Structure 1
Amino acid sequence: MPVIQYIQDNAPKMREIFEDLHANPEIGFQENRTSGIVERCLRDWGFDEVHPGIAATGVVGILRGKGQGNRRIGLRADMDALPIQEITGLPYASTNADTMHACGHDGHTTMLLGAAQYLAATRDFDGTAVFIFQPAEEGLGGARRMIAEGLFEKFPVDEVYGMHNQPLSETGLARIRKGPMMAGASFFDITIRGRGSHAAAPHQSRDALVIGAELVGLLQTVVSRNVDPVKPCVLSCTQFHTGSAYNIVPETATITGTVRYFDQAVMDLVATRMREVCDGLALAHGIAIDLDLRNVFDVLVNEPELSDAYVAAAADVLGADNVSDQGPLVMGSEDFADMSAKIPGAYINVMHGGQAALHNPAFVLDPATLPIGSSIYARIIERRMPMKDAA
């Protein structure tokens, strides 16, 4: 079975929605326009229930199939954009300054809407499909907030599925990996509290800039000189802010960054060494260094049976030769991990071409992936909750 014909016939309309979402991106927990479009579509297509306002801007839609089965399957898509100025030159490029769908969440939302329209029209499944449109995936904890607000208590599901586009490849392929697939992540903020002085009298200071530079170098040895090299882990310092004038030795500095890992014991080791490095450097210079290190993403783990089910659904659309369960470990993170930590789940990558990576101001999602993603979402519902006469 190729792309579902109904979805292919409606691809132009889905393309319009995608381009509109792309031109009007919204940062996490501010997706008011986006969630309004989602809500309106679900209501227009005759969903049994539509629940907006979950985790501020999240939307959940409930669709019951023709059968009377009790099984419930969740499908999730993220909706938020990134604080990036777009440089693609697309005719539907972002009209919001310093805001861009550089990760393709506009495409994910459109894919799930495409599946929603088809399944609402056919309802050829035995059970209930729960459509989860999630805000604030990009490090702001949208999934955790939805869960904390009772997502799975109010809308229980037996299993849940997510999807992401993956550029720099070839359109028409899909990849998944059983077990751990995407890294967990902790973010850190470090504040160095030194002593300022005139730049002509640095001996009177405790120079936060120099100490900060030393600290960045030391942090970059935490993984390379402490973690077993066969256990993947990355520590990256990504921001360093200090100073205010040419003739002032700065009193304070801030350093931020992230740690990515697959093994909690590795993360615990890195956390311990980061604290020891900060405390030791503070003691050496007679200053204070404060470290705030916090978990933001869990490790994303694909349940093996559900991974097989996803492969089968994708193979229905793309052909078995174009779908693999041997995808790579990915050091990037995804807060779908919080959902699949609560409910058995699986997460697949839909591949496509392009010259720019995710989170790049030149990123372009291939619109040809839209009906592919929609069809895979729809097939997982039809396969996992088949009508009795189709079983």
Structure 2
Amino acid sequence: MHATISPQALIDVEGMTQWRHAMHRHPELGFEEFRTSALVAQCLRDWGYEVTTGLAGTGLVGRLRFGSGGKSLGLRAEMDALPIEEATGLPWASALPGKMHGCGHDGHTAMLLGAAKALAQQREQGVDWNGTLHLIFQPAEELGGAGGAQRMIDEGLFSRFPCDAVFAMHNHPDQPARQMFFRTGAFLASSDKVHIVYRGKGGHGAIPHQAIDPSLPAAATVLALQSIVARNVDPLQSAVVTVGRLQAGQTYNVIPEAAELELSVRALTPEVRELLARRIPEVAHGQAASFGVECEVAYERGYPVLVNTEAETRLASRVARQLFGEDQVMEDATPLCASEDFAYMLQQRPGCYLMIGNGHNGHAGGQPSGPCSVHNPHFDFNDGCLGTGAAFWVGLAEAFFSDDFRSTPISYVSPTPHLRKESP
């Protein structure tokens, strides 16, 4: 038999909401997701998955087999929170000072759990699919170059759990709730960190000629760095060089011994990334030479450019159109200069990283407060997206594992839990 998606029967929105709120109240930082990992593992076991824990410490994979043989599909969600003091005032706000789910990973994990439950029910109903589903719950996405995706790969993720394709979904703040965003090729930027130290000679602020002031080349570098973006990078390409920290001295009348800069560097192509990696040290050392100070540059490579493959992105966008309608799908979404370590998985396997609109879901004092980005103390994942995200994962699995995925749209409106007014 061929089973079609029945959201009302299969997608457990109330369950997903409860799981998300439980995770939100107990956020865990990278490689500390013990409680979250245990919750996920227990749910998967209860639904009949083969569960392997301990990948990258707190990561785990749930395996579900359909029929005999066939293709293997990987769906990934991240579990970690951020070191931020939450200020939403919501009933399910973080109970742990200085930690919160400020990027929506609680929602991503809950959506994949909801899909996991529905897919297990699909198998019990005897769907005529052939293949193996791997649900990848990853730790430590927020830790930059030391994140959980590469560590899971290094510990044998794809050799132990072969995947013909991998997919992941992230919420998209301040975009229409439940709208789906896709893009073939580069979708998210690389992310590198640069630490520059200028060393001079300290002295009294009243006799600067007897000192060598390192704050001057530091200040000049802040401006000169933007000439790289303006004059070295092709105007039709994207590059971001952000000076996130500039620090020199302790008081007003002392010329310091050293000045420091920390940069966030992002690009949407490997070529531009390499150009920045060459020119930033050149500019830094050039400024040091012009002011007669010493210079040290530490260039830390972070996440690579995230590149979606064409066939898998077409498949994912087709599923979204057929489930939710043409007006809910943007197939050529604008690339973003945010970064993601799912890029490492896409370097190993074909696949697609997609986004789901989160609406204006900022909160303060327990009430909606309008637009809000991720990594903000007022951010909250929109519960109204849970049913849509889970239904998409179920539809994608059906399309991937079956040969007769429906060719006409079905009607589906995400059930909204009566826990708070949904943001637009």
TM-score grouping bracket, smaller chain normalisation: over 0.9
Query: Which AA in structure 1 matches 2:161?
Result: F
Distance 1:388 1:171 in 2: 30
Indicate the residue corresponding to 1:375 in structure 2: 391
User: Where do 1:53-202 residues align within 5 Å?
Assistant: 53-65=54-66, 67-123=67-123, 124=127, 125-138=129-142, 139=144, 140-202=146-208
Which runs of structure 2 are paired with 1:5-20 in the superposition (5 Å)?
5-8=8-11, 10-20=12-22
Instruction: Tell me the CA shift for residue 340 of structure 1.
Output: 0.9
Tell me how far 1:390 sits from its aligned partner.
Answer: 9.3
Deviations, residues 345-379 of structure 1 (Å, cap 9, x unaligned)? 11111113112112222112210101111111111
Judged with a 3 Å threshold, the aligned counterparts in structure 2 of structure 1 residues 205 and 97 are, in CA distance, closer, same or farther, namely: farther
Q: 1:204 to 1:303 in 2, by over 3 A?
A: same
Measured on the aligned residues, the alpha-carbon RMSD in Å equals: 2.1
Contact in 2 for aligned 1:183/1:330 (Cα 8 Å) = yes
In structure 2, runs of 5+ residues without a counterpart are 361-370, 408-424
Contact 2:399–2:405 (Cα < 8 Å) also in 1:
no
Aligned length: 388
Match of 2:231 among 225, 232, 239: 225
| Distance change in 2, residues 1:85/1:229 (3 Å) | same
Mean alpha-carbon deviation: is it higher for 201-210 or for 112-121? 201-210
Please state how far the C-alpha of 1:331 moved relative to its aligned partner. Answer: 1.4
Give secondary structure in 1 for the equivalent of 2:170. Answer: strand
Confirm or deny: 8 A CA contact 2:303 2:339 kept in the other structure.
yes
Structure 1 stretch 26-35 or stretch 203-212: which is displaced more? 203-212
Distance 1:202 1:28 in 2: 46
Give a deviation string over 1:50-103, Cα, whole Å, max 9, x none: 1111112111111112x1123110000111112222211111111222222111
Asked whether the 8 Å contact 1:55–1:146 carries over to 2, the reply is yes
Conservation of the 8 A alpha-carbon contact between 1:3 and 1:317: no
- Distance across 2 between alignment mates of 1:295 and 1:301: 17
Matched, 1:344 2:350: yes
Quick check: 186-195 or 109-118, which moved more? Answer: 186-195
Shift of 1:211: 2.8
Q: 1:203 to 1:57 in 2, by over 3 A?
A: farther
Percent sequence identity over aligned pairs: 41
> If the length of structure 1 is used for normalisation, what is the TM-score?
0.93
Amino acid at match of 2:30: G
The 8 Å contact of residues 63 and 134 in structure 2, kept in 1 or not, is answered as: yes
Of the candidates 22, 40, 43, which is equivalent to residue 42 of structure 2?
A: 40
Q: Is the 8 A contact 1:317 1:372 kept in 2?
A: no
Provide, for residues 203-244 of structure 1, a one-character-per-residue CA deviation record: whole Å limited to 9, x for no partner: 332223333222212112221121111111111111123323
Which amino acid in 2 is paired with 1:277?
Answer: V
Sort the Cα spacing of 1:197 and 1:33 in 2 relative to 1 into closer, same or farther, 3 A.
farther
The 1-side partners of 2:223 and 2:397 are apart by 50
Q: Compute the TM-score of the two structures, normalised by the length of structure 2.
A: 0.86
1:151-205 CA distances to partner (integer Å, 9 max, x unpaired)?
1111111000110111212223111011221112222111222222233433332
Partner of 1:240, secondary structure, is strand
Task: Give the 3-state SS of the residue equivalent to 2:141 in structure 1.
Answer: coil
Aligned to 2:215: 209
Instruction: Show the counterpart of 1:258.
Output: 264
User: Counterparts of 1:279-358 in structure 2 under 5 Å?
Assistant: 279-354=285-360, 355-358=371-374
Report the Cα offset of residue 6 of structure 1.
Answer: 3.2
- Structure 1 unmatched runs, 5+: none
Cα distance in 1 for partners of 2:77, 2:30 equals 13
Residues 212/310 of structure 1: CA separation in 2 closer, same or farther (3 Å cut): same
Residues 123-178 of structure 1 deviation map (CA, whole Å, 9 limit, x = unaligned): 23321100111111122422111111111111111000110111212223111011
- Counterpart code for 2:167: Y
TM-aligned CA distance change 1:194 to 1:40, over 3 Å: farther
